[in-house]
């Protein structure tokens, strides 16, 4: 199979909630959610957390001038890198932002608000790239140059979208910022069915979630690895990726976590900055 027909995935930010730089998080990384997915010449970026800044520098050196950014939702850890993504300051780029509108706010209004006085020195109109907006709803699918993207509703305060990207007969599922129910979430199960890779919100351990350590985190919109592997097993996914690491989980903690998860589901890996997957 030629290289162009493979899907290339690279993780640029794997942390949840807030960036957590420092020597104790250097191995997995402290930047927030951002994953690059390449399907032929198409560039898809899943979320614009702080990790997108470094990805911007890489893209600037390339020929492709069109970029799609798919947003799961608009909590800070998923958007804060957007105005630091270098291609937005280059007029040769066209960037399509994909996401849901929220209540009465259009997608454009949401980003106008992000870059608003007194929160940021520049406004959306000051960006040089041609920015366009594609509003989607959670049952949509997108087809673009042999790439199929399927969306699904996740369970998170204010709503969140999970994405399944299919290309060259392979499938990659991004399901972060979702809280499990007592039974398996049917829409997530459908989205993940037979996927080659499932990236899942493993923000909390069972003890953290239930309140054995610290306050109970039920209703906070995140899940645990134990529920994640239930989905992975039921959906028969090939590879399970532990994602949206809690900012308080240092490298040692995540090393241990990964070992624990692998006992239950062999093909499990904790996401780290720089991690690459080729499908
Ligand atoms: Zn998040
Ligand atoms: Zn969130």
Residues 150-182 pLDDT 10s: 999 999 999 999 999 999 999 999 999 999 999
CA of 13 to the centre of ligand 2 (A): 14
Query: What is the pLDDT averaged over residues 139-152?
Result: 94
- Residue 276: the pLDDT is 98
Sorted by where each begins, the domain ranges of the chain are: 3-278
Query: What is the pLDDT averaged over residues 57-76?
Result: 97
Q: CA–CA separation, 111 vs 108, rounded Å?
A: 5
Given a cut of 90, whether residue 4 has pLDDT beyond it is: no
Percent of the chain with pLDDT over 90: 96
Would strands 66-70 and 42-46 be described as parallel, antiparallel, or unpaired?
parallel
CA of 147 to the centre of ligand 1 (A): 26
Nearest ligand to the C-alpha of residue 49? 1
Specify the CATH class of 3-278 in words.
alpha beta
CA of 3 to the centre of ligand 1 (A): 32
CA of 146 to the centre of ligand 2 (A): 30
CA of 175 to the centre of ligand 2 (A): 11
Residues 190-229 pLDDT 10s: 999 999 999 999 999 999 999 999 999 999 999 999 999 9
Nearest ligand to the C-alpha of residue 75? 2
CA of 216 to the centre of ligand 1 (A): 18
CA of 76 to the centre of ligand 1 (A): 8
Given a cut of 80, whether residue 189 has pLDDT beyond it is: yes
CB-proximal residues (5 Å) to ion ligand 1: 16, 77, 177
- Residue 14: the pLDDT is 98
- 197-201, strands of its sheet edge to edge: 141-144, 147-154, 160-167, 170-175, 197-201, 239-243, 268-270
Give the Å distances, CA to CA, from 75 to 49, 98, 190, 215: 9, 15, 25, 21
CA of 2 to the centre of ligand 1 (A): 35
Q: CA–CA separation, 32 vs 17, rounded Å?
A: 7
Q: CA–CA separation, 19 vs 169, rounded Å?
A: 35
- Residue 44: the pLDDT is 98
**Residue-averaged pLDDT of the chain:** 97
CA of 73 to the centre of ligand 2 (A): 7
The pLDDT-based confidence of 149 (bands split at 50, 70, 90) is: very high
Query: What is the pLDDT averaged over residues 255-276?
Result: 98
Query: What is the pLDDT averaged over residues 104-113?
Result: 97
Query: What is the pLDDT averaged over residues 122-126?
Result: 97
Q: CA–CA separation, 180 vs 201, rounded Å?
A: 10
CA of 16 to the centre of ligand 1 (A): 5
The pLDDT-based confidence of 138 (bands split at 50, 70, 90) is: confident
Nearest ligand to the C-alpha of residue 33? 1
Residue for token pair 């930010």? 13
CA of 92 to the centre of ligand 1 (A): 31
- Residue 142: the pLDDT is 95
- Residue 2: the pLDDT is 66
The pLDDT-based confidence of 139 (bands split at 50, 70, 90) is: confident
- Residue 1: the pLDDT is 57
């Amino acid at each position: 199979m030629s290289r162009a027909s493979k899907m290339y995935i690279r993780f640029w930010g794997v942390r949840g909630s807030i960036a957590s730089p420092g020597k104790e998080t250097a191995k997995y990384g402290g930047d927030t959610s951002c994953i690059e997915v390449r399907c032929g010449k198409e560039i898809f970026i899943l979320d614009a957390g702080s990790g997108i800044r470094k990805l911007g520098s890489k893209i600037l050196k390339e020929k492709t001038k069109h970029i799609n950014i798919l947003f799961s939702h608009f909590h800070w850890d998923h958007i804060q890198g957007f105005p630091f993504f270098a291609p937005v300051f280059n007029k040769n780029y066209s960037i399509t932002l994909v996401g849901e509108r929220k209540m009465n706010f259009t997608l454009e209004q949401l980003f106008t608000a992000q870059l608003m006085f007194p929160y940021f020195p520049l406004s959306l109109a000051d960006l040089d790239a041609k920015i366009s907006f594609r509003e989607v709803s959670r049952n949509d699918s997108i087809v673009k140059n042999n790439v199929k993207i399927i969306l699904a509703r996740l369970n998170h305060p204010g709503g969140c979208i999970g994405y399944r990207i299919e290309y060259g007969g392979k499938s990659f599922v991004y399901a972060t910022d979702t809280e499990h129910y007592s039974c398996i979430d049917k829409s997530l199960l459908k989205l993940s069915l037979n996927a080659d890779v499932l990236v899942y919100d493993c923000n909390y351990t069972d003890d953290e979630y239930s309140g054995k350590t610290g306050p109970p985190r039920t209703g906070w919109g995140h899940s645990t690895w134990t529920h994640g592997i239930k989905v992975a097993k039921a959906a028969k996914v090939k590879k399970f990726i532990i994602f949206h690491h809690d900012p308080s989980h240092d490298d040692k903690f995540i090393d241990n976590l990964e070992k624990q998860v692998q006992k239950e589901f062999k093909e499990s890996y904790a996401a780290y900055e720089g991690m690459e997957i080729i499908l």
